[in-house]
Structures are given as structure tokens and as C-alpha cells.
């Protein structure tokens, strides 16, 4: 069968689709990734099994359009509810969906899987009359965050005489320990086992932690947006270097310089999280869903300093599971690291979450179920 994956053109939005692409490819299915053509080379090493169907611009162009529509706004640096809704469900759809429908129609998918903030894929599904499912990033996002986006995109359906269709499935990577209490999926829930992001071919990264030091090893990874060297330095200065070795990831902003490596302190450019987590005892992160789930899939406790978007939700749920300490200031991180080393129950909780993640259906199981649904619907037609 032909499977179309769809997502916003950004690493954090597309990487969660990679395991599904790999599983579908292994099972012999034809897979394509619907996103901006500007991501073709950028994402090739991470999603090699799904050639890009290029449609629409990269985020900088969409941000510029949002700023034009909301005069005086700065949606990239100072996102507001109305500009966030327009970015995902308004401007990006306007600049992408017609080309996306054309490209998708030529591919003729049997089903579509769209990541949770992608509104192009679901509209393509409506235009082509094919079933689609939504892939969540992490714990369910409260309706007050998603309702404005649905309202914005509804006008786009009307303009094209399309009727929106509900997803057939909610593909949920969150174990019960991290999910919102009392939450009930609005459609059929398909749990899925998640893990730290990896590549088919190793990047060649070798652990930078010194061997035999007797110290705990700490990974500081704030993602590609919040890894400002001044902030990272503030975190490092709060840490007792006699007790902890540190590896810190660098951001991707061109021209930004980081300090030189020292004994027990190293900086590293982008490496898949699965490789970075080797030999790590504690992870300091900003609460991105992929980092939280990937870290906990290894049973590693965390200190989380959330910055924006869904990070506060992910941080709160990780803390509620007992596997993380959440801080409001980077200067608090050193004390939190000490608390984790002195309280075994935090590491124990992280191991329990890892066991629950390991018990969930694999990506291959989920792909098989999606295709079973398609075949069953075709047989009943």
C-alpha cells in the first residue's frame, strides 16, 4: 500500500514520523513525506525511507506571512495565541495546501498519517477521500490550545468546498504514567512504543564522558532553539563539577560560539538522542516531547526546565510520574541534580515508566493495524 506521512517542516515535528516511515518501509509499503521541499536534504538522514513530496514554503516564509497579516507582531520570537493559530492552521495551510493536494493526488495514498500540529495532511485527506490518523507528540494538549487552530482552518475547508473528516485513530506515544489524568481519546486510541531518535546509520559519535571518574554523567540538551551558550553556561555554573561530568549539546544558530571543552565538560553538535544517551545518568532538558519520551524510554531521570509550547505540559506530566524534577530557573538545576542522586525513588520511577513504554505496541504493530483497517473498509465497500 501507499502511505503518506505529513508534517510541519521542522525537525521537532517530522522526527516523530521517522519510526513509522521505517516500519512501513520494512513491511514493503511505499512511503512519502509531505512537507516543504526545503526539508528534502535536511531530513534525508533521519527519514531515509520516505522521499519528500515538496509542498509549500519553509517556516521563515510562513512567519513572514503571519507578521504581514498581524501588523506589528513577531510570531517567531513572541508567539501569541492568534499568531500561533494562524501559523499552523492559517498561513501555512494557505501557502501549502493546494500544491500538497496536487502532489498527493499524483501519489494516490491509501492512508495518511499527520503529526498533531499539521493541518495540511488532514485537508489533503478530505480532498482525496482517504482515511487519516493523527500522531501525537506526547501527552494530550488541552482543548483550549487546539480549538483556535481548528476554528482558523475551518474557513479553509469552506473556501475549497471540502468537509473536514475526523481521524480514524489517535496514535498515542504517551504511556499512562505520562498521559493527562482522566483524558479520553476522542477517536480510537492506538498506543505506540516510542524511543530516543536514532538513525539507520550511526553518526559515529563516541561518548565524551571520561571513563572511571567516579562521577555521575549529565547530558544537557535544550534542543535546537533554547541552547543559547549564555543559558547553558548558567546551568553549568550551578553544577558541582566535583560530582558530575557534563556533555552539553549546541544549538544550530549560525555564528554562535560555545566555550572550549574542559576536563569533564564537553560540547557536541547535533547527534541523534539515542547515541547521546549512552552512559548518561541524568538528562537536563527543556521538556520537548521527543526528548522526554526518548529519555524515559531508557529509564533515565530528568531535570526539566520548560520554555514554551507543549513543554510545560510534558514537564508537569513527567514530574507527576515521579521521574523528573521541574525547575523555573536554570540556577536551580545543580541542586536538582544532587537531589536526584540522593533520592533513589526518582530513578526508580523513571525505570517504571521505561517498563511501561516497553510494553506498548511497536511501530510495526501500529502500521499493520492501520493497513488492516484500510483493507477492512475496502472489503466492506
In the chain, beta strands by DSSP E: 2-6, 30-35, 52-54, 111-115, 132-135, 169-172, 188-191, 216-221, 244-249, 265-268, 282-285, 302-304, 324-326
Superfamily of domain 216-358 in the CATH hierarchy: Glycogen Phosphorylase B; (3.40.50.2000)
Cα torsion 131, 137, 139, 141: sign:
negative
d(CA 98, CA 116): 20
At 327-342, the pLDDT tens digits run 999 999 999 999 999 9
pLDDT tens figures, 151-195: 999 999 999 999 999 999 999 999 999 998 888 998 999 999 999
Where in the chain are the domains? 2-194+360-380, 216-358
Q: How far apart are alpha carbons 109 and 131 in whole angstroms? A: 9
pLDDT digits (tens, 9 = 90+) for 77-134: 777 889 999 999 999 999 999 999 999 999 999 999 999 999 999 999 999 999 999 9
pLDDT, averaged across the chain = 92
Per-residue pLDDT at 254 exceeds 70? no
| Phi then psi dihedrals of residue 142, to 5 deg | -55, 150
| Assigned superfamily of 2-194+360-380 | Glycogen Phosphorylase B; (3.40.50.2000)
Query: What is the SS3 assignment for 216?
Result: strand
DSSP state of 17: G
pLDDT value of position 381:
73
Amino acid at each position: 500500500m501507499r502511505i503518506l506521512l505529513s508534517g510541519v517542516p521542522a525537525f521537532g515535528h517530522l522526527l516523530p514520523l521517522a519510526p513509522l516511515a521505517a516500519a512501513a518501509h520494512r513491511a514493503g509499503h511505499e512511503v512519502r513525506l509531505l512537507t516543504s521541499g526545503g526539508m528534502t536534504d535536511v531530513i534525508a538522514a533521519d527519514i531515509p525511507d520516505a522521499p519528500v513530496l515538496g509542498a509549500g514554503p519553509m517556516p521563515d516564509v510562513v512567519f513572514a506571512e503571519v507578521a504581514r497579516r498581524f501588523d506589528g507582531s513577531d510570531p517567531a520570537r513572541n508567539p501569541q495565541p492568534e499568531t500561533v493559530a494562524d501559523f499552523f492552521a492559517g498561513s501555512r495551510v494557505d501557502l501549502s495546501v493546494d500544491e500538497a493536494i496536487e502532489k498527493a493526488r499524483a501519489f494516490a495514498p491509501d492512508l495518511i498519517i499527520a503529526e498533531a500540529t499539521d493541518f495540511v495532511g488532514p485537508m489533503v485527506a478530505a480532498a482525496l477521500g482517504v482515511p487519516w490518523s493523527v500522531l501525537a507528540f506526547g501527552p494530550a494538549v488541552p482543548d483550549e490550545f487546539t480549538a483556535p487552530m481548528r476554528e482558523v482552518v475551518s474557513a479553509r475547508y469552506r473556501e475549497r468546498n471540502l468537509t473536514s473528516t475526523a481521524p480514524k485513530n489517535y496514535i498515542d506515544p504517551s504511556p499512562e504514567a505520562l498521559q493527562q489524568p482522566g483524558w479520553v481519546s476522542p477517536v480510537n486510541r492506538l498506543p505506540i512504543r516510542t524511543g530516543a531518535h536514532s538513525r539507520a546509520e550511526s553518526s559515529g559519535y563516541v561518548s565524551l564522558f571520561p571513563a572511571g571518574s567516579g562521577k555521575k554523567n549529565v547530558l544537557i540538551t535544550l534542543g535546537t532553539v533554547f541552547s543559547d551558550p549564555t543559558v547553558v553556561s548558567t546551568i553549568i555554573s550551578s553544577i558541582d563539577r566535583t560530582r558530575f561530568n557534563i556533555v552539553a549539546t549546541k544549538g544550530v544558530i549560525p555564528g554562535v560560539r560555545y566555550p572550549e571543552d574542559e576536563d569533564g565538560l564537553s560540547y557536541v553538535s547535533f547527534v541523534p538522542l539515542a547515541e547521546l544517551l549512552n552512559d548518561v545518568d541524568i538528562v537536563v532538558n527543556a521538556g520537548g516531547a521527543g526528548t522526554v519520551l526518548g529519555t524515559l524510554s531508557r529509564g533515565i531521570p530528568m531535570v526539566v526546565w520548560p520554555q514554551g509550547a507543549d513543554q510545560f505540559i510534558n514537564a508537569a506530566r513527567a514530574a507527576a510520574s515521579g521521574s523528573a524534577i521541574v525547575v523555573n530557573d536554570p540556577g536551580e538545576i545543580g541542586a536538582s541534580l544532587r537531589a536526584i542522586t540522593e533520592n533513589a525513588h526518582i530513578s526508580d520511577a523513571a525505570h517504571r515508566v521505561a517498563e511501561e513504554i516497553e510494553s506498548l505496541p511497536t511501530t510495526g504493530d501500529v502500521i499493520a493495524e492501520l493497513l488492516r483497517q484500510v483493507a477492512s473498509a475496502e472489503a466492506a465497500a
